[in-house]
Amino acid sequence: MTVSLDQMIRVGPLRIALLSDRAVKGIHSNGVFFFTGRKHPVAILIKQGATLTVFGPNGDPMTREQVENLCPGAWSATLEVRGPQ
């Protein structure tokens, strides 16, 4: 699994970002290249003021430890965002 922190967007007073699992695969066959890709969310991060709320795609809350296991530094990077995005 390759998880990364997507760009944060602003919705009113909220800042919203996703942790996404993504992959790109290239295949060469008979002189032709084929590429496939996928991307799906593994966590939704919502920052309001100094509070960060995180939950999985199924709606279950996630802890800081779970977020850091998926994408080291994502929790801190999300909290450090200031000002309009």
Segment 42-71, tens digit of pLDDT: 999 999 998 999 999 999 999 999 999 999
DSSP per-residue codes, 61-83: B--HHHHHHHSTTHHHHHHH--S
CA–CA separation, 79 and 46 (whole Å)? 10
Number of structural domains in the chain: 1
Q: What is the pTM of this model?
A: 0.79
Q: Which two tokens stand for residue 26?
A: 């290239």
Give domain status of residue 30, yes or no: yes
Q: Is residue 83's pLDDT more than 90?
A: no
Please report, rounded to a whole number, the percentage of residues in the chain having pLDDT higher than 90.
Answer: 84
* Among 41, 32, 49, 51, CA closest to 83: 49
Is 85 part of any domain?
Answer: no
The percent helix, strand, coil of the chain (3-state, each to 5) is: 15, 55, 30
Domain containing 15 equals 3-80
